[in-house]
Amino acid sequence: MSCKLQDRVAIVTGGGSGIGREISRLFAAEGARVAILEVDEAGGRQTAAEIADAGGEARDFGCDVSSHQQVQESFAAVEQDLGPVRILVNNAGISHVGTVESTTEEDLDRVYSVNVKGVYLCLQAAVRTMKGRGGVILNLASVASMIGIPDRFAYGMSKGAVLTMTYSVATDYVDQGIRCNSISPGRVHTPFVDGFLSRNYPGREAEMFEKLARTQPIGRMGRPEEIAALALFLCSDDAAFITGSNFPIDGGFVNLKT
């Protein structure tokens, strides 16, 4: 069994479901001590319990990443309970459907508070603890940060900010031994997708799922474990020569359709 992250403390925000849960589980299987920061505390506990049942080490911390106080307290608690943070995966995020006209000020503020401010707060906390000893930061951007997606004005804005924050942190802290990269997934089959379809297309879920799946040239949606595998590579020593880079993982969506 490989242990690419043996004894490294890894914070995963939004680790209570979907991509974040798979990243947390894989990192723990590779020897990391995983700290799950999750506003959905029940989801965070479930992920931590699954990891423990599999023989791994994980702790869940209730945290709203848009709150400066909660982020600071959570990072301090992680360091006290598990040790110095070596890895941060900024995965927590929310979506929104709408054009610039249909997006309200409240919609924009809500998306910004989690997807932009939340990433900023966690980046700031991680950099301060990693300076002088090194570390790895991985941000979850999106194909929406690279090309225009219909009806994703606020979401695309926020993920564009995540992408540029990635480049900025990588540039400013390369001399401190901190690597910072991002992943830009296309459509990935998570509970969020299922919930979106049931809310917006009741009775047509299967039909619309297939329609969305076919928008990827490869003919299907991604799987959370596929995103987790790329995250593991980028956060391990296998990627020691990689920083300041963005990695689309999208079934050809960006490069084969544009």
Residues taking part in catalysis: 155
3-state SS, one letter per residue, for 80-118:
HHCCCEEEEEECCCCCCCECCCCCCHHHHHHHHHHHHHH
Task: Supply angle C-alpha 184, 235, 50, rounded to 5.
Answer: 90
Alpha carbons 188 and 166: distance in angstroms, whole number: 22
Of the candidates 121, 166, 117, 109, the one whose C-alpha atom is nearest the C-alpha of residue 140 is 166
Q: How far is CA 109 from CA 66, 94, 118, 148, 157, in A?
A: 11, 12, 12, 20, 12
Structure tokens at 40: 């959905």
